[in-house]
Structure 1
Amino acid sequence: MAEAARTWKGMIEMCQGLLVRKTGQDRAWWAARARAAGVLDDRALAEWMGSEHGVTGYARYAVSWEMFGYPEFMLRDADELFAGQYEDREHLRPIGEAILAWAGEADGVTVQMRKTYVSLHSPRRKFAQVAPATKSAVDVALRWEGPAPERLEPLRARPGDPFAWRIRLRSADEADEELFSLLAAARDQNS
């Protein structure tokens, strides 16, 4: 059975757990202390927690979200995140659905839903990113090693970005066996 797509819930839980492991206290305890210290915004919280208590990064996010709220997209489930990606381009949704169907059946693939894209992970790391890139196309960016097959196009990536290749899909017919073979190869390269 395929694993359910991951959402931001896991990130929230990870940050909360990290805070407790680092400090021995949970987000409610830290939020109460910050309020008592007169902290009124996120910048002040970052300064107060970092300079006075040595709590930074992901652990601090748990307190920030407790005090100031979560970004709306972080509270969406997987279906809502996916629907939002294709909200103004429904005609492209079958492409994304075909890739999700492949990922759900492929061995060793975990799906991570984000606000504007879906990432596909091997047990080791992310190997593909799927996004409705334009009003008429879905891009599958790949972490690819070695000579690139003809179907891969180079991406203008930031220096050091491992996702330097893409496959641009304009119809569900292009989500074909060749695409799924390339996704499987990228997964295997990154496992």
Structure 2
Amino acid sequence: MDKAEQTMQDNLLKNTGKSLSEWTEAVKALKFEKHGQIMKFLKEEKGLTHGFANFIALKTLATDAGSFENKDDLIDSQYKGKEHFRPIYDQLIADISKFGNDIEIAPKMANVSLRRKKQFALLSPVTKTRFEIGINLKGQEPSGKLLPSGNAMCTHKINLTAIGDIDQEVMDWIHKAYQNAG
């Protein structure tokens, strides 16, 4: 369990008086099959916030990143049907890892977060034709391959379609974000 998940679990108990296991057992007893059904019940019937309801729904259905025992399996699942993008991910991880030994590689359901003291990049095979590197560079004007993101998780993005798209400019932007995150 990562730090953010532990904080969410601690706050759930503190704010609702029930532990995560108590909530998931109660929801399982209702035999809901869909995430949306659980969310609706928890928000409307139990008055939980969206964040807590989502957390409980993900844990109840075991559809969150934390429910994967093996993080490699989680990464593999991101590339199902997009296997041609796996070499891009592998190359980026190899190159970014050379920046320093303080990088946390945190796989999620749809992407992999790269963090130091804070997140600096997000690697994601977003479609079958586009791999996206989300980058956090607050205050940086978009330039060259660095585009505005439109995503709350990152300030900018770089789109890739092939491993050959990883060039010095791409690595320089990621390295700048890495430096700013430490």
Do Structure 1 and Structure 2 share a fold, with TM-score over 0.5?
yes
Which of residues 151, 161, 178 in structure 2 aligns to 1:170?
A: 161
Which of residues 145, 148, 158 in structure 2 aligns to 1:151?
A: 145
How far apart in 1 are the matches of 2:21 and 2:153? 38
Q: 1:115 to 1:31 in 2, by over 3 A?
A: closer
Say yes or no: does 1:90 pair with 2:90.
no
Structure number with greater Rg is: 1
The corresponding residue for 2:63 is 71
Tell me the number of residue pairs that the alignment of Structure 1 and Structure 2 aligns: 173
- Contact 1:110/1:121 (<8 A) preserved: yes
- Contact 2:79/2:85 (<8 A) preserved: yes
The two structures have a TM-score, normalised by structure 2, of 0.69
The corresponding residue for 1:46 is 43
The corresponding residue for 1:5 is none
How far apart in 2 are the matches of 1:133 and 1:35? 32
Identity of aligned residues (%): 20
- Contact 1:19/1:60 (<8 A) preserved: no
State the structure with bigger RCO (CA 8 A, min sep 6), 1 or 2. Answer: 1
Structure 1 residue 29, shift from structure 2 partner: 4.3
The corresponding residue for 1:181 is 172
How far apart in 2 are the matches of 1:104 and 1:96? 12
- 1:97-116 alignment, distance < 5 Å: 97-107=90-100, 108-116=102-110
The two structures have a TM-score, normalised by structure 1, of 0.67
Structure 1 residue 96, shift from structure 2 partner: 0.6
- Runs of at least 5 residues in structure 2 that lack an aligned partner in the other structure: none
How far apart in 2 are the matches of 1:181 and 1:88? 30
Q: 1:56 to 1:185 in 2, by over 3 A?
A: same
Q: 1:14 to 1:105 in 2, by over 3 A?
A: farther
Say yes or no: does 1:129 pair with 2:126.
no
- Equivalent position amino acid for 1:136 in 2: T
- Contact 2:146/2:173 (<8 A) preserved: no
- Equivalent position amino acid for 2:132 in 1: D
